[in-house]
Amino acid sequence: MTATGLGETSQGSQAGGGPSPAEELRLFETMVLIRRVEERLRDDSAAGKLPGAVHLYIGEEAVAAGVCAHLSDRDYATSTHRGHGHFLAKGGDVRAMMAEIWAKREGICRGMGGSMHVADTSKGILGANGIVGAGLSIATGAAFGAKLDGDGKVSVCFFGDGASNQGALMECLNISTLWQLPVIFVCENNGFSEFTPSAEVTAGRIADRARAFGMACAEIDGNDVTDVWRAVGEAVRRARGGGGPSFIEARTYRIQGHFEFESVVLSGGRYRAEAEIEDWRQNNDPIARLRAKLVASGTAQAADLDRIEADVLDRVADAVAYAEAGEPADPELAQTLMFAPEES
């Protein structure tokens, strides 16, 4: 079985808009891959093995998986500083991503970008991005290109509730509606912008910002992968059919800190209660929810899902071994990689 997003496009096979049993299993595999990769990053970060900071996506996996299940390598996606899940769900190579995070030459950006810049244009992954909200205009531009080419590609922008307060969002909502661009804005509302609860910095309902432009909107449970899958399926059909942009606000929750080691920065300060985190962990884990559903519906036995989990763990161990064995990145490349050679 291959992970969702590895060049396959979901067909929306079940009437009424639900994923087929095979698609549900691929969604499960993708979400587990993201989770196990990130748990390994969490542990290796705590052990001081990583050369830089990582922003983890644990708890939000259903969004990346449910969205990217509808995309092929030809479609575009822009990501955020919390981008590992988007990269993997869109079909990025786990070994190359780990090598990048470990700052090795074998990395997807030759070790020069690190965690916050994983990208692979051959898969339509236009990049994670350390600048909050930067993906909005990149995705809109890619959608403009797709519209000019008339090739049926769609462009997806993942961004956070914090990024929804950036002015660029209004520019992108405006022009993509006016020009009917094939772009899907996916706001991952995890309730926090760094250490600030969303309610303290964000007025009104985020989706209302898109509604004001007359854009098709959906506010969904981002921890229910079926909900995500359905809403995005509709948005992708709209975009490919020339019906223009869509906006999806997926409510979810970040289980880890804003980044690993946030406790050092906060030096004892707190911005959320431990009980709140525990509640999401225990009662709203998107992977546990999907597992329970698959078993209850008879789509899979617990043992089948355990086998998927075991295979994923092997892949993660392999990717980490590959990353650790890699050659350190070549700092000289910083001088040459950014610019195309001058034409003579």
Ligand X SMILES: Cc1ncc(C[n+]2csc(CCOP(=O)(O)OP(=O)(O)O)c2C)c(N)n1
- Binding of ligand X at residue 194 (CB under 6 A)? yes
Q: Residue 192, interface with ligand X (CB under 6 A)? A: yes
Query: What is the closest distance, in whole angstroms, from the C-beta atom of residue 20 to ligand X in the complex?
Result: 30
Of residues 78 through 97, those in contact with ligand X by CB under 6 A are 80-82
- What's the token pair of residue 224? 């229910």
Contacts (CB under 6 A) with ligand X, residues 235-294:
254, 258
- Told to check if 130 binds ligand X by CB under 6 A, we report yes
- Least spacing, CB of residue 320 vs ligand X, in Å: 24
Burial class (CB in 10 A: 0-12, 13-18, 19+), 232: buried
Q: Is 113 in the site for ligand X (CB under 6 A)?
A: no
Q: Which of 60, 180, 71 is nearest to 125 (CA)?
A: 71
**Percent helix, percent strand, percent coil in the chain, to nearest 5:** 50, 10, 40
What number of helices (H) and strands (E) belong to the chain?
13, 7
Report how far residue 221's alpha carbon sits from residue 289's, in angstroms, rounded to the nearest whole number. Answer: 12
Q: Which stretch binds ligand X (CB under 6 A): 22-30, 74-82, 243-251, 325-333?
A: 74-82
Map residue 97 onto helix, strand or coil: helix
- Strand stretches in 131-245, DSSP E: 155-160, 183-189, 192-193, 196-197, 216-221
Stretch that binds ligand X, among 37-45, 103-111, 186-194, 318-326 (CB under 6 A): 186-194
Name the segment binding ligand X (CB under 6 A); options: 30-38, 129-137, 243-251, 321-329: 129-137
Q: Which of 230, 255, 234 is nearest to 245 (CA)?
A: 234
Q: Measured from the CB atom, is 10 or 252 closer to ligand X?
A: 252
201 is a site residue for ligand X (CB under 6 A):
no
Contact flag: residue 163 with ligand X (CB under 6 A): yes
Residue 33 interacts with ligand X (CB under 6 A)?
A: no
169: its two tokens = 């969002």
Task: By CB under 6 A, tell whether 131 contacts ligand X.
Answer: yes
Nearer to ligand X, 277 or 333 (CB): 277
Residues that bind ligand X (CB under 6 A): 80-82, 130-132, 160-163, 190, 192-194, 254, 258
